[in-house]
């Protein structure tokens, strides 16, 4: 596996590089862009922007709610204690437990979704520490030498530093 990438100083140049890769027939999902901060004001900053995270968080919340209800109901009916004449399964105090575990479920579901969908913990052929200094990396992982040269030309048409990873 070979990879070719360019390092660009500003977001306009990076956007041009992305557009040139597209013009060279590279799909969006094969283009790698890296930056040291979110780039919401440019088009490439929205690549891969669709997510089910909100819905999954809601699902996690519902799961937490069901767990809290089950826990409270099971434990209270297993060992019924008379507390100040309250019913064995008293809704008012149990709502507190239900609320807390609902929120905990939503928070944990959000974090799990982030880890999975942001592909944290996975290695990549392309990376350059210069990204931390503010440069924007635009690149592609490719197998054939001829194609790498072609992409090198496409990226090189925009002012920036071009690198090939063997």
Partner 1 sequence: MSQPAHARINVDLLRPLLRTSWRFYFLVAALGSIVLTALVSWLSQAFFGFGVTGIRWPVYWGFYVTNFVFWIGISHAGTLISAILRLVDAGWRRPVTRCAEVITVFALMIGAMFPIIHLGRPWLAFWLFPYPSERLIWPNFRSPLVWDFFAINTYLTGSVLFLVLPMIPDFAVVRDKATGVRKTIYTYLACGWRGTPRQWHRLETAMQIMAIGIVPVAVSVHTIVSFDFSMAPVPMWQSTIFGPYFVVGAIFSGIAGLLIAMAVLRKVLHLQDYLHPVHFQNLGKLLLVMALLWGYFVFNERLVTYYGNGPSEMAVFWRTQRESFAPMYWTMVICNFVLPLVLMGIRYFRTITGCVIASLGVVVGMWLERFLIIVPSLGHKYLPYSYGIYRPQPVEIIIAIATFAAMMLLYVLFAKLVPIISIWELKAGRASASLAEAVGEGGDARPVARGEANL
Tokens linked to 11: 């977001």
Residue choice 1, 27, 121, 166 for contact with partner 1 (CB under 8 A): 121
71 touches partner 1 by CB under 8 A = yes
Q: How far apart are CA 44 and CA 23, in angstroms?
A: 14
Q: Which is nearer to partner 1, 70 or 145 (CB)?
A: 70
Residue closer to partner 1 by CB (options 16, 152) is 16
CB neighbours of residue 117 within 10 Å: 13
User: 22-61 mask for partner 1 (x: CB under 8 A)?
Assistant: xx--------xxxxxxxx-xxxxxxxxx-x-xx--x----
Strands of the sheet containing 161-165, edge to edge, are 31-34, 136-142, 2-8, 161-165
Q: Is 110 in the site for partner 1 (CB under 8 A)?
A: yes
């Amino acid at each position: 596996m070979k990879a070719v990438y360019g390092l660009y100083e500003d977001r306009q140049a990076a956007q041009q590089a992305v557009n040139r890769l597209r013009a060279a027939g590279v799909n969006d999902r094969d283009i790698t862009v890296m930056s040291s901060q979110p780039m919401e004001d440019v088009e490439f900053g929205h690549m891969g922007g669709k997510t089910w995270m909100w819905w999954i968080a809601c699902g996690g919340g519902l799961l937490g709610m069901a767990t809290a209800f089950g826990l409270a109901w099971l434990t209270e009916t297993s060992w019924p204690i008379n507390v100040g004449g309250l019913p064995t399964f008293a809704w008012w105090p149990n709502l507190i437990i239900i609320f807390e575990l609902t929120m905990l479920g939503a928070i944990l579901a959000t974090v799990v979704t982030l880890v999975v969908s942001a592909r944290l913990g996975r290695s990549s052929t392309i990376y350059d520490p210069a990204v931390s200094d503010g440069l924007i990396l635009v690149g592609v992982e490719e197998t054939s030498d001829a194609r790498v040269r072609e992409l090198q030309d496409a990226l090189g048409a925009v002012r920036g530093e071009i690198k090939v990873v063997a």
